[in-house]
Structure 1
Amino acid sequence: MANSHARTTLTFIQKRKNIPEIITLDGTTLTIPEVLAVSIEPKLKVNIGKKSMGELEANAAYLKKKLEKGLVVYGINTGFGGSADVRSWEFEDVQKALIRHVNAGMGRFFSTDKVRAAMVTRANCLSKAYSGVRSEVVTNLTNLINTDIAPEVPLRGSVSASGDLMPLSYIAAAIIGRKDLKVSKGGKIMSCPQALAEAGISPVVLGPKEGLAIINADSFTAGFSAPTLYDANLLLLLTQVCTGLSIEALEGRTESFHPLIHSCLPHIGQKEIASNMLSILEDNKLAITTLDMNLPDKYGFLKQDRYSLRSSAQWLGSAAETLNESCRRITIELNSANDNPIIDHRTDKILHGANFQGETMSIAMDQSRQALGICGKLQFAQFSEVVNEKLNFGLPPNLSGCDINVDFGFKGCDTAMASYMSELDHFVNPMSNHVLSAETHNQSINSMALVSARFTSEAVEILQMMTANLLLLTAQAIDLRHIRNIVLKEIDTLAQEYPNTATTLDKIEWYDLLFSSEKKTC
């Protein structure tokens, strides 16, 4: 499938492996894997493409001429938001006042990798040259990235409408070298002026619109979301692997993924998951691959698998479609002019709009989080089925790999899974409908996209723990299933050779016979 979730994810992995040492930003081609790479690899360098540098200079020159002719433009010679009714021709002072009043955060900080992700995203969006900024402003931002300088950015305070004003304002503060700003340089916390001096970077004096251009966008959300989505996509693939392992552990059926079933309900994601499951289970040794209609019926045996196996394609299909769509949306945001106003020297237009409204990303991250919740529910159901001796078709209680009287196997993990799933259920709740009017009712609707992205990152962490648990459990289950099959054959052989032992052997569980035979004999 050309646009399948699996192809998207595998392409991400391949791109992640082949990131060049220098990433050129041109406003159109930045990818999710590249944002991830820059965020966690300080040795990677970024620069602005030659064409973009020329466009930036032309764009800034165009704006300068318009202002020289007396044009009044929002955020340049006006106040901001609900205060846009005031006027000033002190351009530098207006931009300083903007950064100063929005640097109002407190509390815990974003991790440095998330700040770097936001920085490279904002640099790329500015390089489209629709924001009226000079090339030296964007170059200064890339210099910060290349010298591993990132400001301390408060975790909370953005409503993601009129952009991620507060968090991006701390990046702007680093560009201008705010004296009391703390930054991380190579992992060390120091004052911004000291870090700039050590790196040989001169602070920038912001010209008309340049402060607004840096902060009046949702690039922090987009940058934060990119690594989060990368991991989310991997988790959906791993959930399918876990499903395959669970089917083998429980000697389930591949019939559930027969193409005929899914051609009768041809949702794109469902068909993809079913196809993936057949590939995952190809050449397996434990799952039942013969159609049930061609097998003899056995009274007392389930005629079909339980839902966590049988309906996994239908269950995960929507998650595959959702994550694919979220990747598409976030990639657009990574490569867009999303501040206000839009300044276009190409068509001689300055337009006041609202590309900073992050509702698209808020919905995308809400839905991505719901997709992670769907994966979690399936994993929890599969874990509960595999670990429970009443449901796992002959495997030991708690999947113990030795004497069940002194070893309780995965009982602790079983309890932890319930805790993880409960917390994940909480995070799955949407953020996009929790909207309050802000900033003198100018920001009367706002997206809360960055908060949604943060919650999705939390959901990723929880699902990673659940996935690790389930992978361990199913790996042990498959080992035990194989051992069980060998032991049962040996018991059958023994019973045939010594018929008088058959009744006794029949009363002893195979794992007791194997792991604690002396106790059972006594």
Structure 2
Amino acid sequence: MTSIDLATPLRVADLRRAADPVTVVVPAEVAERVKRGREFLQEALGDGRQIYGATTGFGALVGYAGRDDAVDQCDNTLAHLGAGFGPDLDPAVVRAAVLVRAWSLARGFSGVSPHVVDGLVAMLATNVAPAVPRYGSVGASGDLIPLAYAAQALRGRGFAYVDGTRVAADEALRRAGLAPLALDGRDALAMVNGTSLTTAALALALGRVRVAHRAAQALTCVLVDVLGSDPQFLDPRLLAAYGHPGAISVGRYMSCLLDGTVASGTRALQEPYSIRCAPQLLGAAEDALRYADGVVAADLASVSDNPVFFADDGQVIHGGNFFGQPAAFAADTVSAVCAQLANLVERQLDLLVDPARNGGLPPMLAAGPGKQHGLQGAQLAATAMAVQIRRDATPASMQSVPTNLHNQDVVPFGTQAALRALDQAELLLLICGTLAVGLRQAVHVGARRPTATGAADVLKAFDQIEPIDPDRPLDADIRRAAAVLETLDLA
């Protein structure tokens, strides 16, 4: 596996790789610009400049002097942010956030000590992950509270995961051969004053929704073929007349998977919308996800900090680059996409198990209706998950509540939006896995095998899942099917 180079742009794939120990390279030119940024900070402080967080208090208390000692100022920064609650975040998400923070600090615009970047890189080479509570960030001054827990763990305070076990942070560092990270006031503020958790969670969510989106296209094609539907709703002339780029792109892909299919001639002239309007729905999702792709790419290349140090210009500029509004809007968009994809796939599953609409296949695709129940329990769970996604789809990006003595008088809540989108993506993949199990079962109880090579190849990937005959618990099979969708080459 190749290393991650902090001189090159981060990719979503890099964040996924950071779940496990990974080599992150700090090239000489990166180390030099971080060193120059630190030297400029010292020069600015020597000139008696007022620098937020280095010479002042934090947030609404900026009008007061900070502590004289730089290490005390670090403690002052991090201690008051130890107010997070809720369950710990997935260590993979936290490690991705640490990678994003390392990349941002490595731009040299944050005035951090060079050893800070080195310390983050050293942690990523191990299997340590700070224990970070889920709740506490409003996403305005970056992810202050969550990133403070990460910084404290790297200092050997609080808790961390090592080898998958939650232990005291100093013990986790000791086991991994890591020294506690020394921070001064500017280092500590630079660690927390950014949107790295929001960006990481959104990027990971987007990657998983992309998998589910492509899976929904492929499974729709299998559904069309096993039912014997007429694929004319994918005619490129029809979608070109529709005019939306996403629909045209989705239609092209689905047409490739259904190339060679032969309609049974027994279906109605027009299928229900969950089939006939699939390219329009999935195409709109594609257009929305492309917008989110752009936001993630910009965020991964962003310096999210305050203040920002421009050594070449001799300027320290105070502003709001830690304000996570772009990610908040994008995460809400991804959430809406999740909800509508869940609606689509759950309705397709409902069509597949209904003998009034599935071409006369047994109810619930049961091999022996009454004595067996097929997909009945699995459909209930899929419906519950779809509704859970819908209930959680209320936009977070416009839920602003003034806080921090009205210093933060407008806030984006991007962290909540991004973490919620990641949760939804997990459920959406399970709904897709349920449909895949259903399609596998449909063939077992009498549906035809796909006549198109592409659709047949997709269905064949699930041959490892045994038919439901007799009934058995299906949770493990659905998880296995979802895992297949993640590894299936659906490009």
> TM-score surpassing 0.5?
yes
Contact map agreement 1:267 1:317 (CA 8 A) in 2: yes
Alignment pair present for 1:148 and 2:113: no
Match of 1:63 among 28, 38, 41: 41
- Correspondence for 2:13: 33
Give, as a single letter, the amino acid of the residue that structure 1 aligns with 2:105: L
- The CA distance in 1 between the partners of 2:378 and 2:163, in whole Å, is 38
Contact map agreement 1:161 1:448 (CA 8 A) in 2: yes
Give, as a single letter, the amino acid of the residue that structure 2 aligns with 1:25: L
Contact map agreement 1:46 1:146 (CA 8 A) in 2: yes
Match of 1:267 among 244, 251, 258: 244
Query: What RMSD over aligned residues (CA atoms) do the two structures have, in Å?
Result: 2.1
- The CA distance in 2 between the partners of 1:464 and 1:193, in whole Å, is 37
Alignment pair present for 1:137 and 2:116: yes
- Correspondence for 1:282: 259
- Correspondence for 2:409: 444
- The CA distance in 1 between the partners of 2:272 and 2:175, in whole Å, is 63
- Correspondence for 2:474: none
- The CA distance in 2 between the partners of 1:483 and 1:246, in whole Å, is 10
- Correspondence for 2:228: 251
- The CA distance in 2 between the partners of 1:214 and 1:405, in whole Å, is 60
| Secondary structure of the corresponding residue to residue 350 of structure 1 | strand
Q: TM-score, normalised by structure 1?
A: 0.82
Give the Å deviation of 1:175: 3.1
| Secondary structure of the corresponding residue to residue 413 of structure 1 | helix
Give, as a single letter, the amino acid of the residue that structure 1 aligns with 2:102: A
Give, as a single letter, the amino acid of the residue that structure 2 aligns with 1:172: A
- Cα 1:195–1:424 change in 2 (3 A) is closer
Alignment pair present for 1:237 and 2:218: no
Give the Å deviation of 1:152: 1.1
Give the Å deviation of 1:483: 8.2
Match of 1:87 among 48, 65, 75: 65
Give, as a single letter, the amino acid of the residue that structure 2 aligns with 1:459: Q
Give the Å deviation of 1:149: 2.0
- The CA distance in 1 between the partners of 2:213 and 2:17, in whole Å, is 21
| Secondary structure of the corresponding residue to residue 64 of structure 1 | helix
- Cα 1:258–1:146 change in 2 (3 A) is same
Query: What are the equivalent positions in structure 2 for 1:172-251 lying under 5 Å apart?
Result: 172-178=151-157, 181-251=158-228
Contact map agreement 2:400 2:413 (CA 8 A) in 1: yes
Match of 2:391 among 402, 406, 426: 426
- Cα 1:484–1:99 change in 2 (3 A) is closer
Deviation sequence 1:382-406 (CA, Å, 0-9, x none)? 11111100111222222223x3342
Give the Å deviation of 1:352: 0.8
Give the Å deviation of 1:198: 4.1
- The CA distance in 2 between the partners of 1:484 and 1:245, in whole Å, is 7
Alignment pair present for 1:312 and 2:278: yes
- The CA distance in 1 between the partners of 2:13 and 2:236, in whole Å, is 33
- The CA distance in 2 between the partners of 1:408 and 1:141, in whole Å, is 52
Query: What are the equivalent positions in structure 2 for 1:109-128 lying under 5 Å apart?
Result: 109-128=88-107
- Correspondence for 2:28: 50
- Correspondence for 2:374: 409
Unaligned 5+ segments in structure 1 are 1-18, 289-294, 486-522
Give, as a single letter, the amino acid of the residue that structure 1 aligns with 2:220: T
Matched residue count:
450
- The CA distance in 2 between the partners of 1:310 and 1:382, in whole Å, is 11
Give the Å deviation of 1:232: 0.8
- Cα 1:416–1:149 change in 2 (3 A) is closer
- The CA distance in 1 between the partners of 2:165 and 2:387, in whole Å, is 37
- The CA distance in 1 between the partners of 2:382 and 2:180, in whole Å, is 50
| Secondary structure of the corresponding residue to residue 233 of structure 1 | helix
Deviation sequence 1:315-345 (CA, Å, 0-9, x none)? 1111111112212211221221111011011
| Secondary structure of the corresponding residue to residue 107 of structure 1 | strand
| Secondary structure of the corresponding residue to residue 102 of structure 1 | coil
Q: TM-score, normalised by structure 2?
A: 0.87
Deviation sequence 1:103-143 (CA, Å, 0-9, x none)? 22233211211111111111111111110012111101111
- Cα 1:463–1:200 change in 2 (3 A) is closer
- Cα 1:484–1:333 change in 2 (3 A) is closer
Unaligned 5+ segments in structure 2 are 452-491
- The CA distance in 1 between the partners of 2:288 and 2:40, in whole Å, is 41
Alignment pair present for 1:331 and 2:297: yes
Give the Å deviation of 1:45: 1.8
- The CA distance in 1 between the partners of 2:387 and 2:187, in whole Å, is 45
Query: What are the equivalent positions in structure 2 for 1:449-468 lying under 5 Å apart?
Result: 449-468=414-433
- Correspondence for 2:442: 477
Give the Å deviation of 1:233: 0.3
- The CA distance in 2 between the partners of 1:194 and 1:405, in whole Å, is 57
Give, as a single letter, the amino acid of the residue that structure 2 aligns with 1:482: R
Give the Å deviation of 1:428: 1.8
- The CA distance in 1 between the partners of 2:405 and 2:163, in whole Å, is 40
Largest Rg, 1 or 2: 1
